[in-house]
Every structure is written in C-alpha cells, then in structure tokens.
Amino acid sequence: MSALSSLPQASSIAPQVDTLFWFMVALCVIVVVGVLIAMVSYSVKYRRGSPADRSGRQAQSLGVELTWTLIPLALFIGVFTWSLFVFAKMRSPPPDSQTVYVVAKQWMWKTQHPGGQREINALHVPLGQPIRLTMTSEDVIHSFYVPAFRVKQDVLPGRYTELWFTATKLGSFPLFCAEYCGLDHARMGGNVVVMAPADYARWLDGNAGPQSLAVRGAALFRAHGCSGCHGANASVHAPDLDGLYGRWVQLADGSTVIADDRYIRDSILLPKKHVVAGFAPLMPSFSGQLSEEDLVALIAYLKSTARAASDPPAIGAESTHEHD
Amino acid sequence: MAYAQVAVAHDDHSSHDDHKPHGWRRWVYATNHKDIGTMYLVFAGIMFFLGGSLAMLIRLELFRPGLQFFDPLFFNSLTTMHALIMIFGAIMPAWTGLANWQIPLQVGAPDMALPRLNNFSFWILPFAFLLLLSTFFVPGGAPAGGWTMYPPLMLQGGASFPMTIFAIHLMGASSILGAMNVIVTILNLRAPGMTLLRMPLFVWSWLITAYLLIAVMPVLAGAVTMLLTDHFFGTTFFTAAGGGDPVMFQHIFWFFGHPEVYILILPAFGIISEIIPTFARKPIFGYEAMVYAIASIAFLSFIVWAHHMFTVGMPLAGELFFMLTTMLIAIPTGVKVFNWCATIWKGSLTFEPPMLFALAFVFLFTIGGFSGVMLAIVPADFQYQDTYFVVAHFHYVLVPGTIFGIMAGVYYWLPKWTGHMYDQTLGKWHFWLSAIFVNVLFFPQHFLGLAGMPRRIPDYAVQFTDWNMVSSIGGFGFGLSQLLFPYLIWKCIKHGVPIGNRAWEGAHGLEWELPSPPPFHSWETPPTEAVLARAAVH
C-alpha cells in the first residue's frame, strides 16, 4: 500500500476519495481475510481422518443464504449513498471556478488560459483556486489524468468534456494520458504546476500571449463573417449572440438547452442540430474551417459578452441535452 | 464405495466395434464429441502458450523504465494480440472443449446433439487464428489498437485492420455454433430422469453461458462491422465529424464485453462446484442457490456494461445506475463464494491437485471480485480507471480465476479422459509454483495502479520501477512453471497408472459411472434410474 500513501493528496477532493477508498479496502480485507481464515481453518480441522465433530451437517439453508445475500446488500446501499455525496461534489464546479481550455492530440496536451497564455504538456494553476477544464481532442480519445488530484476525464473528439479541481498543495504533479491513444501513448503527459497566487499572477504576466483568448475570438468572429449575421446591425435574421452564454435557449423542436461550450461548438460545426425557435436553418457549417483552438477562442469571446450571466451550469447539466 | 464397473449393456461390444475412423480422417472429419473436445483443448493449450509468450515479452519490456527491446508499435501489438489470443483463442475454446468432453457424459447423452455442426465450429477456429496471427507479417504489423478496438484509434490501423475484424467474425461464428450445440444437447439429450435440477453445476453453468454467447456475440460482430464500414465504405457511425459518436462504439462493445466477462468465468464456477464437493466428500451447499446465483449473475451482466466507461462523461443518472447494478452483481457472486466455504465445512477433506486449484480459485477469485467492487464506486473509480489497478483486477479474475478453473477441470477429469492417473506430486508442484508466482505477478500491479501508472504503456515513469520488476519476475516464474502442465499431461498419457471408473472416490456424476477412458460412443443406452441415483450430485 506504500504506493498510494506516497501519492500526495493535492486537491480538495483527494481526501474524500481516499477516505472512501480506504473504507473499501478495509471492507474487502475483512471479507477476503475472513474467507481465507474460514478456508484454511476448515481445511485443517476437517481434513480426512481428523477427529473433528461432523454432526449437524446441512446441504442447504434458506436462512443462511438470505443472511449472506441481505447483509452485503445493506452494506452496498450504504456505500452507494456515501459515494453519491462525494460524486455530487466531483460533478459540481464551484461558481467562482476559472476556465482553462485543453486540446489533446496525438501525443500532446495543449492548454489555453483565458488571458491567451498557451502551454504544451504543462498547466500552471494557482493554489486554492477552483479550475474548470473544458477539453476536447483533435483526433482519438485521450484521458486527462492527474493522480495526485484523484481526477480523470476522457477527452473526446467532437465534443467537450469537463473536469474541475482545486489544487491544495504547491508543486509539480505528473499529468498522464490514461486512455490508450496509439503509438506514443506512454509518452503523452506533462506536469500540472501549482503556484502561489502571487507567483501565478507573475507567471501569467510573463507568459501573456499577444492577445487574450476572448480578443482573439472576437477577431475570428469578424474574420469568419459571424458578425455579418449575428452582429448587432446585421440585416440577416439570425439569433443575437451577445450575452447568450449560460442562458437557456428555446429550440425549434420545442426542447430547451443551456448555451454552454458544447452547444456553441455544435452550433458552429453542426448548425442544423440545434435550430433556435423562430429562426430558419440557414447557417452553413464551419466544420473544417476552424481549428479546435479557434473554436475555444470563439467560445471565450461569447463568454466575455456574457460576463453578467449567472453561474456556469453544473457539469452534470452538460450531458443532459442529448444529441439524437 | 462401489468401484465395480456399471453394466452399460454393450460396453464390451462398443470397445472393439466402435466404427472409430483412423488416421487424419478421425480428426478432420471428426463428429465424435470426445475427439472434438480433445482438439478444442489442444488448440486452447497451444494458444495459451502463444498468448503467454506475448505476455512474457510484455513483462520483459516492462522490467525496467525506458524502451529496451521493442518499439512502441510492436509493444502495442503485443498487448492487443495477447488479449485477443487469450480470450478468443485460449479461454473460450478451452471451455468449449471441456463442454464437448463432459456435457454428454454428464447428462447421459451419446454425443453432442449436432455433431457435424460441432466439427464445423471447431475447424473454423484454426483458420480464424491463422488469419489473426498472420497480421504479424503484414505491412504495419499486427493490430495495435487494443483488444477493445475503440475508434477513432482503431480506424488508424493498417492492413491488419480488416484481417482482425474478419478473424473476430470467424471466432464469433464458431462460438455461436458451439453455444447452440450445447443448448440443444442439454435441453434435448438428457437421459430420462435427468431433470434440470439434477444436472451437475458444470452443465448448468455452461447452459447459461451458452445463452450469453448467443445473445452477445452477434453484438460484437455488429460493432466490428460498423468499424469496417466506417473505415472502408464511408459510413460515420463513430466519426464525430460526420455526426457519429465514438462513445456509441464503447456502449455497443461493452454490451458485448461485460457478458463476455461472465462467459469467461461462469463455467469455472461450475467446475469448482463439482470439485469441492468431491474432495470434501459432501454435497455442494445450497445447490439451488448456486443455480439461481449463476442465473442472477447472467441477467445482471447485461445491465452493468457502462462501468467500463465511467470516465467517458455519461449523464449523472447513467453513472449512478451502472454503479448500483455493478455492486448488485457482487451479491450473487458472494453467495457462491460463501456456499463453497460452507461446502468444506464439516467435510472430510483431501488435497489432490484439482482440490488445490479449486481452493486457490475461491480465495484468489474473491480478491479479483472485491477489487471489482472497488472499481464500481464511481468517485473512486476515476482514480483507478485505465490504470494498472484495472489490469490487476481483471487478471486476478482471469488467471487465478478462469485459468485455475480450467486447470482444476483438466486435473479433475484427465484420469477419466486418459484412463490413467497422473503424477500427483508433479501436479502439486505445478499448483504451488503457479499459485505463488501468480500473486507475485499480479498483486504488485494493484500498487502500480494506485500510484497512477496508466495501462498499455511500454515505458513508464521511474517511480513505478520497483513493483514492475517484482511483477515481471512473478511473470517469468509463472510462465515457466506452466511448462510442467503439458509435460504432466504427456507423462500421464504415456506412463500413467491405469485407473478404474471412479478416479476420485468422492466423485459423483454420470461420467464416473463409465469406464476410464470412456468408450468412443458412451451412453448409447441411457443410464438407469439406479445409476442416476448413485450419480446424483446433490
């Protein structure tokens, strides 16, 4: 067990995951050792020729079968309930969490901060600040895994998945790709560097790109002609996108969705998927014209126009709008 | 205890006039369940050593960090092929071989119900594996996308890609035909008086396994066919850019894949439930509970599949549903383990090789089962998913679980098949070496997983070195000790001591009412009620 205890608990969720883990280890050890003791002691006691008392043997007993059916059932319901609480926490990023975008490709992690800072195979985060990662892949499935934080989330092509954590220890922690992704899967990784907030601010300043993500997105918004239809003075009848991010949208098919990252991405690449109520499906697809990083910048721009909008939706809510 | 040979009316007659074909025709045209069973078992044995050799190469590369022996592509082929060969080439044919040999003997049938189909289902296999193994020699090498074949990665495969898929189609067809034969045999050819609830538990476990096979092998065939059309015919089932969804493949694959896990283990449950009563000299505790437990596991196995996908990003309700069902499936499994323990309680135990393997199975399978429950707890699973913890978990279930189950079965019935008792001391050596090394091999992998080592990597960070070395040493020890097994079988056939009908004095079941080896055609006349009563397993 030395292996796990040598692994630092470096996120706010880690102690709770570990408590659950150690409880399960204890439960398993009790039963496994119990089975072992029963087998070894019966093997010795009831070996052929031993004088042990063998009267009162039974071939079956409903009471006994029910006992070892119902006791595990009760235990499992207890563990299930406990897990629910930990799990609920893992799926609900705090409202003040700060978004960082992650784009995975064979075999590299690219991260982009809202201020335009870009990193490869590294992610710098401030201590104590909830960080919410919005992730996608350019090719195959990858999985973002930081053992010290006890978090893992698959990163899929064609959609966004999310993950959040609050780092609670300073230092550099290994980042792995956990989902087998081909030739150099073993070497796809990096480090998550947790810095004191003041150091982090200095790091941000020292690594600032030419422009922030939102500014780059605004430029793309104009360059690709989005503003021609969706802008304030557009003559085409298209939904106004100012302040859209995080709001509920009524669709032509009667359903509603939250305008989150995934919704915006789908609307750009597959515009016929979510047609807004009251609008004709006129928009062409921009699939192939925008890279994953461009999409992320566009989303950051739309987000910046909605600063006043309410809290970001819970991660769980992301998955509730179905694709089919 | 009666050792006298049972009066099967024309035993003497059939032994010298059994119309047994000779030479190559006996095997190529085989319709006899015993010959086909033997071919299945020999095939499985060859594949076991082949798949095992690949595992040795994997452990060799992982002995130290860094890339020493293989390039990453070849390593990835090794892990992919190791899994495909062991699952479809070693374990599943071994079960079908044991079913072929034992089910007609145990239910009092003269042969399998569909002998020509039986021949066909076996002879598909060598061709399927020739096709699969030949991928080592095509441009781009053997498949390296993992045995789970997740797109989009699998779609990047080279020439091996369609070959692998056709090979899987063939293996699936073979399994389905074999399963149909088992079902028809059990339901139609049982001797009069052999009611369902008198059947030995091995027969029960295989009946349920056969239904699982028929239910899920076509699903696998569908999934890989969709991959094929995505690659060659412009469909986009799993391609996000075309409106498809790579996660859908995972759902379809694991809808096959989880029942498949139970296809690999349920017959072992049956065998253990035969062996423990024999050497405890006491009927199985809770026969009916054992049958219902297998049936419950089979049913639940259809609704737990997405626990393989907890980190993929499913809706909340999905994660919770699959967490709960996965925990529930541990309950009937626990019932089986507790019933085995209760069977040895107040028994009269001896420890011949089959019993040693069976007892080790109960204990080590329990370890694998419990790490499975730990993996079911979603918030904790995020830490273990796709790490060596998972590798340790399923190898505990499949090696000291399934493989020990198969070996226990072979050690149990080998005297019946050959008519000779084998060298039991050698068998005990084989057991103890296997049991010790298998734990040295797989137990440290739990630690590696908990420390965060991802699976399917040829190179790893230095902090994982120590336990990888231990694991590799265990692997080499385990691999080498398996060489004792074919030697023991060869020695048994050539130089074993002839043995009577009932190789083990505590054994019950119709197979022990026949001579050892049984005549080429057995149970041409159904067993009488008196024979059935003496053979009753509970």
Distance from CA of A45 to the nearest CA of B (A): 8
Contact B383 A152 (CB under 8 A): yes
Tell me if residue B111 is catalytic. yes
Point out the catalytic residue in the list B205, B209, B273, B434.
B273
- Average pLDDT in chain B: 92
Nearest neighbour of A152 by CB, restricted to B331, B359, B382: B382
What's the pLDDT at A294?
Answer: 87
Instruction: Find the residue in A nearest to B454 (Cα).
Output: A178
Q: Specify the pLDDT at position A322.
A: 39
The shortest CB-CB distance from A183 to any of B72, B246, B370 is to B72
Q: Does A308 have pLDDT greater than 50?
A: no
pLDDT given for residue A5 in this prediction: 55
> Torsion angle of alpha carbons A170, A171, A176, A178, nearest 10°?
-30
Contact B380 A140 (CB under 8 A): no
| Chain A residues lying within 8 Å of B347, measured CB to CB | 42, 46, 54
Is B115:B33 a contact under the CB 8 Å cutoff?
Answer: yes
Contact list in B for residue A49 (CB cut-off 8 A) is: 348
ipTM over 0.95: no
Pick the CATH number of B30-534 from 1.10.1040.10, 1.10.10.10, 1.20.210.10, 3.40.50.880: 1.20.210.10
Residue of A nearest to B374 (CA): A24
Residues 6+ apart with CB under 8 A from B423: B488, B491, B492, B496
- Catalytic residue at B258? yes
Smallest CA–CA distance, residue A201 to chain B, in Å, is 30
Query: Residue-wise over B253-281: b if at least 16 C-beta within 10 A, else e?
Result: bbbbbbbbbbbbbbbbbbbbbbbbbbbbb
Q: B143: alpha, beta or left, given left = phi > 0 and alpha = psi -120 to 50?
A: beta
B446 is catalytic: no
Residue carrying the six token digits 């982009």: A112
Q: What are the pLDDT digits (tens) for B509-522?
A: 999 999 989 999 88
3-state helix, strand, coil in chain A (%, to 5): 40, 20, 40
Contacts of A157 in chain B (CB under 8 A): 152, 240, 246
Q: Which of B455, B456, B491, B534 is catalytic?
A: B455
| Beta strands A189-195; A122-126: pairing state | parallel
- The H or E element that residue A177 is part of is strand A171-177
The pLDDT assigned to B18 comes to: 62
Q: What residue ranges do the domains of chain A occupy?
A: 98-206, 213-304
Whether the per-residue pLDDT at B395 is higher than 90: the answer is: yes
Residue of A nearest to B383 (CA): A150
Which of A49-53, B104-108, B334-338 is predicted least confidently? Answer: A49-53
Residues B152-202: pLDDT tens digits? 999 888 899 999 999 999 999 999 999 999 999 999 999 999 999 999 999
The pLDDT tens digits for A91-146 are 889 999 999 999 999 989 999 998 888 899 999 999 999 999 999 998 999 999 99
Question: Considering CB atoms only, which of A32, A179, A316 is closest to B370?
Answer: A32
State residue A306's pLDDT score. Answer: 74
More confident residue, A216 or B246: B246
- On whether the A98-206 domain is CATH 3.40.50.720, my answer is no
Closest CB to B363: pick one of A35, A84, A151.
A35
Interacting residues of B241 by C-beta distance below 8 A, sequence separation 6+ = A158, A287
pLDDT band at A313 (very low <50, low <70, confident <90, very high): very low
Assess contact for B383 and A21: CB atoms under 8 A: yes
Write down the domain spans for chain B: 30-534
- On the 0-12 / 13-18 / 19+ scale of CB atoms within 10 A, A238 is middle
CA distance B464 to chain A (A): 9
Structure tokens at A254: 């009667």
> Do the chains contact at B450 and A32, CB–CB below 8 Å?
no
- Determine which of A128-137, A303-312, B43-52 has the lowest per-residue pLDDT on average: A303-312
pLDDT at B147: 94
Active site residue B260: yes
Position B93 scores a pLDDT of 97
CA distance to partner chain A, nearest, from residue B304 (Å): 15
Q: Which residue in B283, B349, B382 is closest to A48 by CB distance?
A: B349
pLDDT band at B10 (very low <50, low <70, confident <90, very high): very low
pLDDT of residue A319: 40
Whether this prediction's pTM lies above 0.80 is answered by yes
Helix (H, G, I), strand (E, B) or coil at B498: strand
CB B527 within 8 A of CB B510: yes
Helix H or strand E segment including A314: none
What are B285's two structure tokens? 């505790």
Beta carbons within 8 Å of A28's beta carbon, 6+ residues apart: B370, B371, B373, B374
Q: Do the Cβ atoms of A17 and B350 come within 8 Å?
A: no
Domain A213-304 of CATH type 1.10.760.10 = yes
